[in-house]
Amino acid sequence: MSTQWQNLKPRLAVVLHDLAMVWAAWMSVFWLRYQIWEQSPPLPWWPPEMPLVLLVQGLVLYTMGLYKGIWRFASLPDLWNIIRATMFGALVISVSLFLLNRLEGVPRSVLLMYPLVLMALLGVPRLLYRLWKDRKLAFYARPGLRRVLLLGAGSTGDLLARDMRREGPYYPVGFLDDDRRLWGARLRDLPVFGGIEDLPEVASRNSIDTVVIAIPSASNRQMQRIVAICEEVGVDFLTVPRLQDLLGGRSSAYQIKEVAIEDLLGRDPASLDWGAIRSGLAGRAVLVTGGGGSIGAELCRQIAQLGPSRLGVLERSEFNLYQIDRELRRDHPELVLQPMLGDVCDNDRVERTLEQFKPDIIFHAAAHKHVPLLEANVREAIRNNVGGTRSIATAADRHGVDSFVLISTDKAVNPVSVMGATKRAAEILCQSLAGPSATRFVTVRFGNVLDSAGSVVPLFREQIRRGGPVTVTHPEVTRYFMTIAEACQLIMQVAATGDTGEIYLLDMGDPIRIQYLAEQMILLAGKKPGDEIEIAYTGLRPGEKMFEELFHELEPFENTEHSQILLARHREFDWQPINQDVLGLIADADRLDDDQLRESLRRLVPEFRREDTDPKVINLNQKLKG
């Protein structure tokens, strides 16, 4: 009972205050009308119509929801409610008094001025109370609050400052922004000290504990620059979700989080034609092979949001299939989902799948991709990456599937690994089949995907958790990186707009040194590279390159209408000889040893080199600028 009374007291106080303001408004208007204009005798403090005025106006204020808000957070919507309630209340009072006594003793001017005065008497105290509370929090910060400097004085920084001053462990001190027009201005009564380069001086002068990067649209270069400054100063730093995560619904706005490696390596948000993507997938039957893997599962998640008529997931790992099936049924209960346990290398299973499911579009994500493991397991690499691709691609042709999307890799360019060579063989197969087939065969090629299964990021994360060392193959080795979500969005874009037989390359941005990646992950974990966590160099493993390439010399590239998708003009291949070579390679996989299989694979992929001979690397950004 005492708790209920404690909760009721503030509301009761607000109701009594508002009724007192109704009385004050009515009496002050009468006083203005008679005392100033007509100099009449003193008015009674409780006129006969007052009970009706209080009853009617009180009911209107309640029904308009005026007591659902809190004075501490009074805002424009609350003022709008006051305006509506006072105007409607005046109207109801006028009608009631007219029906009761034909407005005897109540001048028309009173009824016109009353709502205006009441608006002021109800609205001003609420705004003054909020201003007082905000000032109180600003000048009397609670003990233990962390002093925060916000980087970015845009709308995100503005709302973060507002929320921080209301509650939480943070106390905003001011802003930094590279927009010179804002320098010296005040936002939420907090100063914009200067540019981000001024961080060391401003942080020292104002005893900053934490920096919050409030720039959701920041590019990777901007994030790397900001993080480098924060690390130099030695101040803790947090950030808000990236713009592409907000747009994709993966994060909520103004949610502060720790800076992740994806924030440093993820690039500018992809400019996608979502209309074309949705029209290409909505109402279609879509099949994803390898749908339980990193890329395949993310493809399933994004496709499920676009309204396919059916979504089929072909996966040979029972556990992975169970995981993605459970997730999709939980998040999309309306989705017509068909999980299928099977292997793309099993021709009978593939044939039965296409007969029963009848897909319109196939995303072929099933593949072995771990470079060193495949060097020691050439047979399995050929059976899965080449044989599995032939099985599903030829079945797609026979069953009249509209579109077939092969997901390839930059390691297929001048490959030195078995993995890269088998993926290049799969590309050649699909390019040659595109000629005689009515099915549209499209290939998408991209580099390393952050946090995908078997990638370097989860490996480094585990090594850091164990206290090191973090193993890097070579100080100069570089790789191209992108996030899983971004890779899948661009795959779907190519599926919607790509031409048959073509190879599309996703813009990887600048290559990242693996040593830099390791150092940043150690720093983000709150450790010092070399001191607390050692970095050990192990040398290139079999099949690994020092630098990855983006184009073959015989694949001139062209820009497309999408800035982050390039077209690599493919070489012409005839289906019949390529098909015979592929069948011969698959047959060899059952009878030859690994060395012989490499030679057999090289006949299909002549550019397959024995080792990395430091090839000429094509830097995408430099070439585009040229």
Averaged pLDDT for residues 454-471: 81
Averaged pLDDT for residues 599-616: 72
- Residue 611: pLDDT band (50, 70, 90) is low
**Tell me: the pLDDT tens digits for 357-405?**
999 999 999 999 888 899 989 999 999 999 999 999 999 999 999 999 9
Angle at 372 between CA 366 and CA 373, to 5 degrees: 55
What is the pLDDT, as a whole number, of residue 142?
53
- Please spell the DSSP secondary structure of 41-58, one letter per residue: PPPPSS-TTHHHHHHHHH
What is the pLDDT, as a whole number, of residue 552?
67
What is the pLDDT, as a whole number, of residue 379?
93
What is the pLDDT, as a whole number, of residue 40?
58
Averaged pLDDT for residues 101-126: 80
List 121's β-bridge partners, or say none: none
Q: How far is the C-alpha of 18 from the C-alpha of 11, rounded, in Å?
A: 11
**Tell me: the pLDDT tens digits for 255-305?**
677 776 766 765 555 566 778 888 889 999 999 999 999 899 999 999 999
- Residue 496: pLDDT band (50, 70, 90) is confident
CA atoms within 13 A on the CB side of 92: 16
What is the pLDDT, as a whole number, of residue 266?
55
**Tell me: the pLDDT tens digits for 209-247?**
888 888 877 777 788 888 888 888 888 888 876 555 544
- The candidate with the shortest Cα–Cα distance to 124, out of 212, 17, 49, is 17
What is the pLDDT, as a whole number, of residue 253?
43
Q: How do strand 190-194 and strand 236-239 relate by DSSP bridges?
A: unpaired
| Pair 419, 374: CB distance under 8 Å | yes
Higher pLDDT, 112 or 624: 112
Angle at 46 between CA 41 and CA 52, to 5 degrees: 125
Instruction: Retrieve residue 245's tokens.
Output: 């995560």
Q: How far is the C-alpha of 174 from the C-alpha of 431, rounded, in Å?
A: 57
- Please spell the DSSP secondary structure of 129-197, one letter per residue: HHHHHHHHHHHSPPTTPEEEEEE--SHHHHHHHHHHHHSSSEEEEEEE-S-GGGTT-EETTEEEEE-GG
| Token pair 């005839």 in the structure block, residue | 574
Q: How far is the C-alpha of 358 from the C-alpha of 401, rounded, in Å?
A: 8
SS3 assignment, position 19: helix
**Tell me: the pLDDT tens digits for 162-184?**
878 776 678 888 899 988 888 88
Q: How far is the C-alpha of 206 from the C-alpha of 53, rounded, in Å?
A: 55
- Which of left, alpha, beta for 290 (phi over 0: left; psi -120 to 50: alpha)? left
- Strand order across the 146-151 sheet: 186-187, 190-194, 170-176, 146-151, 210-213, 236-239, 257-258
Q: How far is the C-alpha of 344 from the C-alpha of 340, rounded, in Å?
A: 11
Percentage above 70 pLDDT, the chain: 82
- The candidate with the shortest Cα–Cα distance to 467, out of 517, 534, 519, is 534
What is the pLDDT, as a whole number, of residue 41?
58
Percentage above 90 pLDDT, the chain: 24
- Strand order across the 403-409 sheet: 337-341, 310-315, 285-289, 361-364, 403-409, 440-446, 503-506, 565-568, 557-559
- What's CA 541's distance to the chain center, in Å? 34
Asked if residue 355 has pLDDT above 70, the reply is yes
**Tell me: the pLDDT tens digits for 531-552?**
788 888 888 877 777 877 766 6
Averaged pLDDT for residues 578-592: 89
Length of the chain: 626
Q: How high is the mean pLDDT of the chain?
A: 80
Domains belonging to the chain, first-starting first, are 2-138 (no CATH), 146-259 (3.40.50.720), 274-449+482-508+548-624 (3.40.50.720)
Higher pLDDT, 5 or 416: 416
Give whole-number Cα distances, 75 to 82, 119, 136, 568, in Å: 11, 14, 18, 55
DSSP state of 75: -
Residues 6+ apart with CB under 8 A from 139: none
Q: How far is the C-alpha of 295 from the C-alpha of 292, rounded, in Å?
A: 8
Higher pLDDT, 530 or 381: 381
List 237's β-bridge partners, or say none: 211
- The candidate with the shortest Cα–Cα distance to 600, out of 613, 623, 582, 622, is 582
Averaged pLDDT for residues 438-461: 79
Q: How do strand 403-409 and strand 361-364 relate by DSSP bridges?
A: parallel
Asked if residue 626 has pLDDT above 50, the reply is no
DSSP state of 413: S
What is the pLDDT, as a whole number, of residue 122?
82
Averaged pLDDT for residues 52-64: 83
- Residue 560: pLDDT band (50, 70, 90) is confident
| Pair 405, 440: CB distance under 8 Å | no
List 313's β-bridge partners, or say none: 288, 339
Averaged pLDDT for residues 106-122: 82
Instruction: Retrieve residue 31's tokens.
Output: 């006083």
Q: Which helix (H) or strand (E) holds 427?
A: helix 418-434
- The candidate with the shortest Cα–Cα distance to 327, out of 299, 297, 287, 357, is 297
What is the pLDDT, as a whole number, of residue 6?
45
Averaged pLDDT for residues 146-168: 82
**Tell me: the pLDDT tens digits for 303-351?**
999 999 999 999 999 999 999 999 999 999 999 999 999 999 999 999 9
Averaged pLDDT for residues 504-513: 77
